[in-house]
Amino acid sequence: MKAKKVLGLVLCAALAITSLAGCAGAGGGKNKVGVSMPTKDLQRWNQDGDNMKKELEAAGYEVDLQYANNDVATQLSQVENMINSGCKVLVIAAIEGSSLGSALDKAQQKKVPVIAYDRLIMDHEGVDYYATFDNYMVGTIQGTYVKDALDLDNAAGPFNIEFTAGDPGDNNAGYFFNGAYDVLKPYIESGKLNVVSGQNTFEQVATPSWKTETAQSRAETILSSNYADGTNVDVWLCSNDSTALGVENALATNYNGTYPIITGQDCDKANVKNMLADKQAMSVFKDTRTLASQVVKMVGQILKGETVDVNNTSDYNNGKKVVPSFLCEPVFANKDNYKKILIDSGYYTEADIS
Ligand code: BGC
């Protein structure tokens, strides 16, 4: 064995003790990990990207972090570049779950493992693992909050409700909507909850690209067509914070009735501010640090050839296979517990949300 190779191996062994699996093998150099994020437009993906980069670097990897501006073609070419430039593992939060086929074909040819990050990549064999928060549980937390806040089992009602869901191209969006709808369905069927607009299927209430402006204009139309006569909307079930913000904006200018219960997800800064100002009742906290740590652990396990931690091997079928998944637990958040979960945990400072 050549001296250079031996030195490489010794260095690698030494590094392996201190870092996870950052060493590329004989010859030295760090293993490179590609991290593909959908957009910088939404607060959470910036945090996800930052956390992933920080943690992967701390574990000894080189990181190629890219944001795709919510443009599928951009994400495809960024992922292909990651493969061409020698990334050993890909971590991808898909813009459109079913549109990454050609990049995943290439990853498979080059034997580059793929972890779907937060959003499942659909219709491809080449997705090795999936790490996310329990998406159905996010919806259940929202639905259960509404059920309890209105005391639906005991109150006479009826109450008026509207729904705003997420992007049809994001596999998560259906899980969020169904999780919430399944809790509320019996009350809709019994007439205790009345969907005044009549729009209660996922297709009718979806918001392409999760855009605040799109959610806002749909809410404005619903308000002017159904609530201008003084009818109150008691609940607006929103799947996440960016869409909740749109509904909150619409209510501010197009509604004079009693302010509704509004749900959300992510604990974005703007929405935490709105919770503190009583403009949003709750959100669901998905600590992006927890997800990043889990994914970094998975990357290390893959590169070391170890068994990869998963806790769900039945629920996430991407149309080609059931993808072994790790589901982190989402946490209910409102203005009563935000200090503990958001401030004391170091996620935000008070200044961030005041
Ligand atoms: C994520 C949510 C996020 C939404 C919009 C979903 O896939 O799970 O946390 O609010 O995308 O970016």
CB 307 within 8 A of CB 120: no
| Assigned domain for 341 exists | no
Q: How far is the CA of 288 from the centre of ligand 1 (A)?
A: 11
Same domain, 48 and 87: yes
pLDDT of residue 300: 96
Q: Any residues with Cβ below 6 Å from ligand 1, and which?
A: 42, 44, 118-119, 166, 170, 172, 210, 240, 242, 265-266, 286
pLDDT at 337 over 90: yes
Mean pLDDT (whole number) for 311-335: 97
Query: pLDDT band at 17, cuts 50/70/90?
Result: very low
Can you name the residues that pair with 194 across neighbouring β-strands?
A: 160
CB 260 within 8 A of CB 291: no
pLDDT at 27 over 80: no
pLDDT at 269 over 50: yes
pLDDT at 23 over 50: no
pLDDT at 18 over 60: no
Same domain, 262 and 144: yes
| Cα–Cα distance list, 70 to 53, 64, 76, 97, 126 (Å) | 20, 18, 11, 12, 22
Instruction: Name which residue leads in pLDDT, 4 or 157.
Output: 157
Same domain, 107 and 217: no
Give me the number of domains the chain comprises. Answer: 2
| Assigned domain for 122 exists | yes
Q: Where do the H-state alpha helices sit in 277-329?
A: 288-303
Q: How far is the CA of 27 from the centre of ligand 1 (A)?
A: 40
Same domain, 31 and 163: no
pLDDT at 216 over 60: yes
Q: Residue 9's closest CA among 24, 22, 21, 19? A: 24
pLDDT at 20 over 90: no
pLDDT at 16 over 50: no
Q: What is the pLDDT of residues 177-195, one digit of tens each?
A: 999 999 999 999 999 999 9
Same domain, 90 and 195: no
Which CATH number covers residue 47? 3.40.50.2300
Same domain, 39 and 120: yes
Mean pLDDT (whole number) for 243-247: 98
Query: Over the Cα atoms of the chain, what is R_g?
Result: 22
Mean pLDDT (whole number) for 309-332: 97
Any idea which residue has 């068994």 for tokens?
307
Q: Residue 65's closest CA among 99, 92, 94? A: 92
Same domain, 281 and 293: no
Residue 158: φ, ψ to 5°: -75, 160
pLDDT of residue 258: 97
Any idea which residue has 């799947």 for tokens?
239
pLDDT of residue 29: 65
| Assigned domain for 8 exists | no
Domain residues for the domain of 112 are 16-127+287-329
Mean pLDDT (whole number) for 244-251: 98
How far, in Å, CA of 40 to CA of 67, rounded? 6
Whose C-alpha lies nearest to ligand 1, atom 6?
172
Q: What is the crossing angle of helices 135-149 and 171-190, to 10°?
A: 30
